[in-house]
Amino acid sequence: MTRFQWQRAVIKIGSALIAPDEFQCSGRYLLAIARFITASREQGKEVLLVSSGSVAAGRGKVKHSQTPTMAEKQAMAAIGQTRMMANWQRFFDFPCAQILLTYDDLHDRTRYVNIKNTLRELLLNDALPIINENDTVAINELKVGDNDNLAAYAALVAQADTLIICSDIDGLYDADPRVNPQAKLIPEVTEITADIHSLAGGAGSKVGTGGMRTKIQAAEKCVKSGIQTLIVNGRKGEVFDHLLEGQLQGTLFQPCASPENARDQWLRHTLKSKGQIHIDSGAANALKHKGASLLPSGIEAVDGQFSPGEAVDIFHQQVLIAKGLALYGCHDLRAIKGLKSHQITTTLGYSYGEAAVHRDDLVLI
């Protein structure tokens, strides 16, 4: 078995595991996964879920044609979402938190940062974030494989080091094991090439959200950003017992770079700065030597026009020392510069947090 280590993981669970009979939620395959989540948290690790199943869970409660219409699917999702969440919550004595996302949420910079901040607070408060696509308001047809790719985006926004995709087979094979008994499991992939993509098949389940093709697409998104990706058989409880011991019974896609380097490159090179923040010596020292966030008290001046979530350059004595995502817009920062964090709410009437730029969203230059 392949050995691996992790600290923060996103686990993707498909409809075939949530609702194996296609009409209601079940714990048949989820108990082993829930035990893994609980034991991992007890080891000090962090877990987020991307859980399919809302449409399948609500299918039996909505009258529908043989091929459900978009409106019927959305009604199924609306009813099934609460059932899917209740099904997860019964396994845990800590809170489960529902996060419903759309494609636009993940590609709009401000909303992306808001999602990141929310996930950070949920993890700090020992909740289990459970993420799903907001199928009740989706304007496009619910597409096969969306939640595999959603899981990849969730891993990126949560700054996870690992994505675990649960499948109905043991991992990636050199042929389809359901039709070829001689197919061999590929335990490790160091580079996702055209040959690897050619191994991917189509959808493997009537209620699932994608076959191996979308799982490899998700893996490719993650490994390019430094996130190792695992494909495992979610129907085998012993798989999760091995994972607890740092042993993988499945396929491991090795990351191309460390998550920190990938994030640094994204902040430093991809995002165009919309403004400048000038800070004092105390704040500069805290950023460079203490790994601290930038607080309003250390800000001396704010230049440019920018909104919350947009990139800003951070200067000390006219020297660029850092770049990051502002939690507050330029007008708010001008109002709270030099103030203590506890004065933010009094001054603005609201607060997005005590930091002007959080350490997780900041890179030193």
Residue-averaged pLDDT of the chain: 87
**Host domain of residue 92:** 2-262
pLDDT at 2 over 90: no
Collapsing DSSP to helix, strand or coil, 147 comes out as helix
Question: Based on the structure, what is the number of domains in the chain?
Answer: 2
Tell me the DSSP string of 277-310: EEE-HHHHHHHHHS-PPBPGGGEEEEEE---TT-
Q: What is the pLDDT of residue 287?
A: 96
Range in 143-152, 165-174, 181-190, 212-221 with the lowest mean pLDDT: 143-152
Structure tokens at 247: 């042993």
Residues 160 and 111 in one domain: yes
Beta bridge partners, 315, equal 278, 320
Q: Considering 262, 295, 315, which residue would you say is the last residue of a domain?
A: 262
CATH number for the domain that contains residue 215: 3.40.1160.10
List pLDDT tens digits, range 205-261: 443 334 788 999 999 989 988 899 999 999 999 999 999 999 999 999 999 866 656
C-alpha to C-alpha distances, 209 to 40, 149, 205, 213, 261, nearest whole angstrom = 26, 10, 8, 11, 31
List pLDDT tens digits, range 47-63: 999 998 788 778 888 88
Residues 176 and 32 in one domain: yes
Residues 17 and 110 in one domain: yes
Residues 106 and 155 in one domain: yes
Q: Considering 262, 286, 302, which residue would you say is the last residue of a domain?
A: 262
This prediction has a pTM of 0.75
Structure tokens at 208: 């699932």
Task: Count the neighbouring beta carbons within 10 Å of the beta carbon of residue 176.
Answer: 16
| C-alpha R_g of the chain | 22
CB-based contact 364:319 (threshold 8 Å): no
Structure tokens at 188: 């490790």
CB-based contact 364:284 (threshold 8 Å): no
Of the candidates 279, 281, 362, the residue with the CA atom closest to the CA atom of residue 327: 362
Residues 256 and 278 in one domain: no
Q: What is the pLDDT of residue 1?
A: 73
Residues 258 and 321 in one domain: no
Residues 227 and 94 in one domain: yes
pLDDT at 142 over 60: no
Of the candidates 314, 308, 164, the residue with the CA atom closest to the CA atom of residue 231: 164
Residues 275 and 237 in one domain: no
Distance (Å, whole) CA 287 – CA 349? 27
Distance (Å, whole) CA 172 – CA 186? 6
Residues 341 and 252 in one domain: no
CATH number for the domain that contains residue 324: 2.30.130.10
Beta bridge partners, 362, equal 324
Backbone conformation region of residue 249, classed left if phi is above 0, alpha if psi is from -120 to 50, else beta:
beta
Q: Considering 225, 243, 262, which residue would you say is the last residue of a domain?
A: 262
Percent with pLDDT over 70 in the chain: 90
Give the residue-averaged pLDDT of 16-31.
80
Residues 12 and 138 in one domain: yes
Of the candidates 328, 264, 341, the residue with the CA atom closest to the CA atom of residue 302: 328
Residues 179 and 322 in one domain: no
CB-based contact 3:155 (threshold 8 Å): no
Percent with pLDDT over 90 in the chain: 57
Residues 298 and 336 in one domain: yes
